[in-house]
Each structure stands twice: as C-alpha cells, then as structure tokens.
C-alpha cells in the first residue's frame, strides 16, 4: 500500500508542472482536474491503510466540490472567451 501511495504522490509532479507552465488556460484546468483525481485516490488509499471510513466521506465531498468548481470555472472561461470574441468583431 505504501508503495502505491508513493507512486501516486510521484505522479502528481508532472501534473503540477502542467498547471504552472501550461500553454493555455484549458491545459491548466486539465492539470488541476488530474491533481484532483489523484488526490481523491490518495485519500482513499489513506482510508484503506488506516482503516478509517470517515476519510471516504472527505473523498466524496472533495470530489463533488472539485467537480462543481471545474464546471463553474470552465463556464466562466468560456463566457470570457465569448465576450472577447464579440468585442473583437465590433
């Protein structure tokens, strides 16, 4: 279990680089989603290692809040791009 946990933590590094360097905002959003999903898996692994079920509740809450945040951020970015394109035409 600890080896898998170490691998998951190691896999967060390229995603963090994608968030920091990402050539576009959408690449950064994708990197944040990948970090979110790996963090959920890490929380579930902690729940399995320490045999605590309340951590699964945290994982579900974290997943739902991350999903809602991603939806709102993508809607905001798409609306901003739409407004920029309308300003460019006039």
Reported as a pLDDT band with limits 50, 70 and 90, residue 71 is very high
The reported pLDDT for the residue numbered 90 is 57
55's CB contacts (< 8 A; 6+ apart) are 43, 44, 46, 47
pLDDT digits (tens, 9 = 90+) for 6-65: 888 888 898 999 999 989 988 999 999 999 999 999 999 999 999 999 999 999 999 999
In the chain, what percentage of residues exceed pLDDT 70? 98
* H or E stretch at 54: helix 54-89
pLDDT reading at 89 higher than 80: no
């Amino acid at each position: 279990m600890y080896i898998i946990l170490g691998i998951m933590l190691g896999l967060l590094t390229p995603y963090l680089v994608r968030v920091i360097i990402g050539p576009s905002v959408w690449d950064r959003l994708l990197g944040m989603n990948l970090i979110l999903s790996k963090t959920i898996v890490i929380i579930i692994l902690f729940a399995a290692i320490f045999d605590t079920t309340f951590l699964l509740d945290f994982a579900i809450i974290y997943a739902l809040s991350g999903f809602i945040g991603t939806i709102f951020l993508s809607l905001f970015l798409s609306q901003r791009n739409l407004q920029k394109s309308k300003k460019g035409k006039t």
